[in-house]
Amino acid sequence: MEGGVLGIIELVTCSSEEQAVRAKNNTIVIKRTKPWLLHATGTSTFLKKYCWLFFMCPKFFVKHLYRFKIIFVILLWGCVSIGAFTSTQAQAQAPRVVRDTEIENTIRAYGAPLFEAAGLSLSAVRIRIILSQDLNAFVAGGQQIFVNTGLLSRADDPSQVIGVLAHEIGHIAGGHLSRIQEGLRNASNQSIIATVLGAAAAIAAGQPEGLSGAIIGGQALGQRALFKYTQGMEQSADQAGVNFLDSTEQSSRGLLNFLKILQKNSLLYTASRDPYASTHPLTQDRILFLENHVARSPYSNVPIPQQYVTMHARARGKINGYVNDPVRTLETYKAGDKSVEARYARAYAYMKLNDKKNALSIVDGLISESPQDPFFHELKGDILKDAADVNGAILSYTKAIKIIPWAALIRVNLARMQLALNNPKLDEEIIRNVRNALRYENKIPALWRQLATVYGRRGETGKASLALAEEAMLKGDLNRAKQHVKRALGILPTGSPEHVRAQDIGNEIANASIKEDQ
């Protein structure tokens, strides 16, 4: 549940010993040691090395801006987003990426036919959930789609979410992120300097309000130069989206209804603002386009598949139970409501209230009705984990894994509980569990940490160091990764698969260091 994404800049929440900085794929990964304090790429190296240059040699800085990869300005433009209004509360808090197997699977199910229609590989697209009540979804950093929990919980039906996904897939298919970055190159130097110099000064002084002011100031100077790109892209994504929906024989009415909701919210919150302050200024034109399309499309009245309706209700109940105040949740979802959505929400509410008895009563009822539903077993495991019933949690997570062995996130919790028993007899089982999880998803740092823990307990220090190097690479901590690689290479047998992998990581670190210095 840690970490977050804003625009195409990743914010990684790190512990004091896990502070990370990494440049990757023309994005900047920023380390955050306090909720309000952002450190630009390599506060310890980059800013100390170049901060004086920002102020003393602005012409040189502008000339080499893209070599330095200082792209704070992308906080404004780097995110191609369908939603235009953001609450004050959301702006005050850094968004977090949350992971949930069931909800991610639901979004993938919605998007699968659309990805195929767009000629994209579903396996190549990453779907992530942002913990935010704003109605929003966006593409970032290539083939990545980020969906706010607010969109999933507040959408009237799955057709609205599917419509938004179609639009976002239109952005990916159109290569809009790369075009926006090209547009940035043509933005005024004045706006870029205003943004970056102000941000650098704010960061150096440890003043978050200065960072916000710098970004806003830079926006005011350069927004209009880029809107000509984003306006056309929104229209293009709408056109592509409805084409994908038509080719999969789905209605575009959901996207139309969603934009009408968005327009209503925009009128409520931004009526007094300069129209150029909106990142999607042609909402009315877009609505007219969609109204015309819905009027003539032969698929406009195609009903939503019942399976999607069920999946949407479950996701909404889970999100509301997880996000909302538990007392409010119990008031919203009355005890007499026996729907899965309501019971899901109430179970989460009771879990947050540390009411193990009522939470288990609900989930046991769900399991009795659907014993082969892996996510009910996962929820029971979560309840028992929070109640410190380690053996009970292991049993529930194991049942879930037997039904869906590919669920890496559930395997993370299973391994966590297995390690909590501190029983060396379980080491082989833990290694097997974690290795299976890594087959399906090898970008979860916690899995490598768990593997390192069990190898360390067994005295296999070379393998433990290699696993810690993998974890450090994922977190962007090149210095720590380098230390662990050096240790691993000195222990692992030359020519072994593990030794070869350690050499590969060492090469990756060297290449990354060269790019950082350029």
CA dist., res. 442 & res. 12, Å (int): 18
Confidence of residue 227 (pLDDT cuts 50, 70, 90): low
385 found inside a domain: no
Residue 291's domain comprises 4-296
Sign of the Cα torsion 229, 231, 237, 239 reads negative
pLDDT higher than threshold 70 for residue 1: no
**Backbone angles phi and psi of 129, in degrees to 5:** -110, 130
Q: Residue 46's beta-bridge partner residues?
A: none
Q: Six-digit token pair at 113?
A: 């036919």
367 found inside a domain: no
Of 354, 355, 401, 359, the C-alpha closest to 380 is 359
Looking up tokens 């939603």 gives: 83
3-class SS of residue 241 = helix
pLDDT higher than threshold 80 for residue 175: no
Above pLDDT 90, what percent of the chain? 56
Cα end-to-end distance, the chain, whole Å: 34
pLDDT digits (tens, 9 = 90+) for 263-284: 777 655 544 443 323 444 456 7
200 found inside a domain: yes
Burial of 62 (0-12, 13-18, 19+ CB in 10 A): middle
3-class SS of residue 261 = helix
Q: Is 202 left (phi over 0), alpha (psi -120 to 50) or beta?
A: alpha
69 found inside a domain: yes
What's the whole-number average pLDDT of the chain? Answer: 77
411 found inside a domain: no
Looking up tokens 């110099």 gives: 197
Of 206, 218, 209, the C-alpha closest to 77 is 218
pLDDT digits (tens, 9 = 90+) for 443-494: 999 999 999 999 999 999 999 999 999 999 999 999 999 999 999 999 999 9
Q: Would you state the pLDDT for residue 171?
A: 86
252 found inside a domain: yes
493 found inside a domain: no
> How many domains does the chain fold into?
1
Q: Would you state the pLDDT for residue 55?
A: 46
**Backbone angles phi and psi of 34, in degrees to 5:** -135, 155
Higher pLDDT, 97 or 400: 400
User: What does the DSSP 8-state code read for residue 338?
Assistant: -
431 found inside a domain: no
pLDDT digits (tens, 9 = 90+) for 290-344: 999 999 999 999 999 999 999 999 999 999 999 999 999 999 999 999 999 999 9
